[in-house]
Chains A and B, each alone.
Chain A
Amino acid sequence: MADEKKPAGQALQEQLSQLTDQVQGSQAWSSIFRPGSIFRKGYNDSPRNRSYVIMNSVLYHLHPVKVKRHAVKVSYTLCLGGLSFFLFILLTVTGIFLMFFYRPTAAQAWDDIQTLQTAVGFGLLVRNMHRWTAHLMVLTVFLHMARVFYHGAYKPPREFNWVVGVMLLQFTLLLSFTGYLLPWDQLALWAVTVGTNMMGFTPVFGEQVRFVLLGGVEIGTDTLLRWYTLHVLMLPFVLVIFLAVHFWRVRKDGGISGPL
């Protein structure tokens, strides 16, 4: 029995490795996976391939090929900036899911969310994730700012990136605040009422800003549409632009700040 099984297993193994060779050797495969991809034929762990992994990937090439050794220490950055960005991606993904089931009118918004939670597969879970990660992102962005300050990482040549970072914190707050109204429940309505009343006290143009944001003198269905557009389109769009500048400046200013 054992004699028969072993050759059979070996033959299978040979066939499999042959198949792997064929697939990895095909033109289609090697056109998809650029040199340095760990899926490419003949990938081995060499300094050249380690560089190629970063250079030849549209996502990873946000990073330099090499970083200072202390920059990879989790105890220095606590991953807070990266986690904020990752939470933003997570919020985009869950937010797109929510958009399929939501209409931003006073007559439909609340019902849509009720339906989403009770009748749509994973609807409740995805909404929960969207809300909790939003709160979490406000927290991580805030902590990231504190971390950067305590490390003195805003000092030359990184002054301007700090300014961009403070702007990003404000966009994060605005994104969270505009999303707060969308469920159109008692919590949303009155939290936003309190918030926008504060806005009205801005000198000179406070009333005008409030009017433009609310689409009227009071919160209503027009407000919902405006905040929805701000929340799903305009603010994320502006935030991504600032994010691009933020990441780009991190590299241009010489990578993350040095050890203390």
Chain B
Amino acid sequence: MTEIPEHLRKRAEAAKAKAQAAAGGGDAPAGDAPAGDTPAAEEKIPSHLLDRTTAASDQPAPTAGGTAAPAAGSGPDGHNQRLLTVVKSGSIQDTKATPQDKVHVWPHLLLAEFLAALAITLFSLLFSIFVNAPLLELADFNKTPNPSKAPWYFLGLQELLTMFHPMVAGVTIPGIGLFVLILAPYIDKNPSKRPEDRKFAISLMTVHLMFWAVLVMIGSFFRGPGFNFIFPWNSGLFFEL
């Protein structure tokens, strides 16, 4: 499922092959080295370093530097060399962050975006060719249409106005709804994003969204003259977009 990008995989394969070749070359002298001088450290210390220390200890040692050091003496060029410690790469170069699986935006994301934009342009173009936007007769202050309806996204509010005092329906309820919506990230302290961990939040939001959706539906399709309740299949539609 998680596919490594092509160029990264190639690079990793090349690096692996190179490492293998290097390891193959390094093994050869290790086989020649006389074993038994440093039995405990043998598997941890790189073979070429072992070689060097054994070669040095074979020569007559002029000074004894330390007791812990396996060998000390003058090296091949007459230098005094001592192997203090070998730090294995794992202990200091440990990568803790796992690399993220990423893809290039071009073409992977831009292509999807382009197609989506194309599709919605095509949809709105075709829709606009076949369906005309409403233009009723000139505005007339003396002729109130019956029913008078707000734009569809405010019909939920208009619907509330039929049930409550304007102060409650027009201000308090939508005000609280909006306020809670804005504060949602600060109210919801649950750190999990998994749906099964946030059943309450999801239920609450669904009820909230459905509340407005149902009110808008009723206001749009089930309200006729005098904003009285009607069934659209009996009395027809009183709805303009």
Residues of A participating in the B interface, judged by any CB pair closer than 8 Å: 46-47, 50-51, 53-54, 60, 63-69, 71-72, 74, 79, 82-83, 86-87, 90, 106, 110, 113-114, 117, 124-125, 127-133, 135-136, 138, 146, 149-156, 158-159, 162-163, 166, 170, 173, 176-177, 180, 183-191, 193-195, 198-199, 201-203, 206, 218, 257-258, 260
Q: Is the CB of B105 within 8 A of A54?
A: yes
A82 to B115, CA, bound (A): 11
A86 to B148, CA, bound (A): 32
A50 to B8, CA, bound (A): 14
Is B237 an interface position by the 8 A CB rule? no
A151 to B140, CA, bound (A): 47
Contact residues in B for A132 (Cβ distance below 8 Å): 124, 127-128, 131, 133
Q: Is the CB of B150 within 8 A of A60?
A: no
The 8 Å CB contact of A128, one of B117, B131, B157, is B131
Q: A79-B116, A86-B120 are in contact. Are A60 and B105 (CB under 8 A)?
A: yes
The interface bits of chain B over 2-30 (1 if a CB of A lies within 8 angstroms of the residue's CB, else 0) are 11010100000000000000000000000
Is B92 an interface position by the 8 A CB rule? no
Is B125 an interface position by the 8 A CB rule? yes
A133 to B141, CA, bound (A): 29
Is B88 an interface position by the 8 A CB rule? no
Query: Given known contacts A184-B139, A186-B138, A191-B149, what 9 new A-B pairs fall within 8 Å (CB)?
Result: A51-B104, A66-B104, A79-B116, A125-B125, A125-B129, A177-B154, A190-B148, A198-B157, A201-B170
The interface bits of chain B over 161-177 (1 if a CB of A lies within 8 angstroms of the residue's CB, else 0) are 10000110011000000
Q: Is the CB of B185 within 8 A of A163?
A: yes
The 8 Å CB contact of B102, one of A68, A106, A125, is A68
Contact residues in A for B113 (Cβ distance below 8 Å): 79, 82
Give how many A-B residue pairs fall within 8 Å (CB-CB): 204
Min distance, Cβ B180 to any Cβ of chain A, angstroms? 10
Q: Which residue on chain B has the smallest CB distance to residue A158? A: B185
Min distance, Cβ B5 to any Cβ of chain A, angstroms? 8
Q: Is the CB of A117 within 8 A of B171?
A: no
Q: Is the CB of B105 within 8 A of A117?
A: no
The 4 A-B pairs at the shortest CB distance, nearest first, are namely: A159-B185, A128-B128, A152-B193, A189-B139
A8 to B7, CA, bound (A): 41
Contact residues in B for A72 (Cβ distance below 8 Å): 103, 108-109, 112
Of B43-51, B63-71, B194-202, which binds chain A? B194-202
The interface bits of chain B over 79-122 (1 if a CB of A lies within 8 angstroms of the residue's CB, else 0) are 00000000000000000000011111111111011001100110
Q: Is the CB of B112 within 8 A of A74?
A: yes
Q: Is the CB of A60 within 8 A of B148?
A: no
Is B42 an interface position by the 8 A CB rule? no
A220 to B103, CA, bound (A): 55
The 8 Å CB contact of A260, one of B117, B136, B194, is B194
Q: Is the CB of A152 within 8 A of B198?
A: yes
6 example contacts (A-B, Cβ-Cβ < 8 A) are as follows A50-B104, A132-B124, A133-B124, A155-B185, A184-B138, A191-B148
Min distance, Cβ B160 to any Cβ of chain A, angstroms? 9
Q: A193-B148, A198-B157 are in contact. Are A83 and B178 (CB under 8 A)?
A: no
A177 to B140, CA, bound (A): 19
Q: Is the CB of A69 within 8 A of B185?
A: no
A190 to B139, CA, bound (A): 8
The 8 Å CB contact of A114, one of B106, B135, B141, is B135
Min distance, Cβ A150 to any Cβ of chain B, angstroms? 6
A191 to B150, CA, bound (A): 4
A71 to B167, CA, bound (A): 44
Min distance, Cβ B195 to any Cβ of chain A, angstroms? 7
Is B207 an interface position by the 8 A CB rule? no
Is B205 an interface position by the 8 A CB rule? yes
A163 to B179, CA, bound (A): 10
Contact residues in A for B41 (Cβ distance below 8 Å): none
Q: Is the CB of A260 within 8 A of B166?
A: no
Contact residues in A for B100 (Cβ distance below 8 Å): 68
The 8 Å CB contact of B166, one of A50, A86, A158, A198, is A198
Q: Is the CB of B136 within 8 A of A185?
A: yes
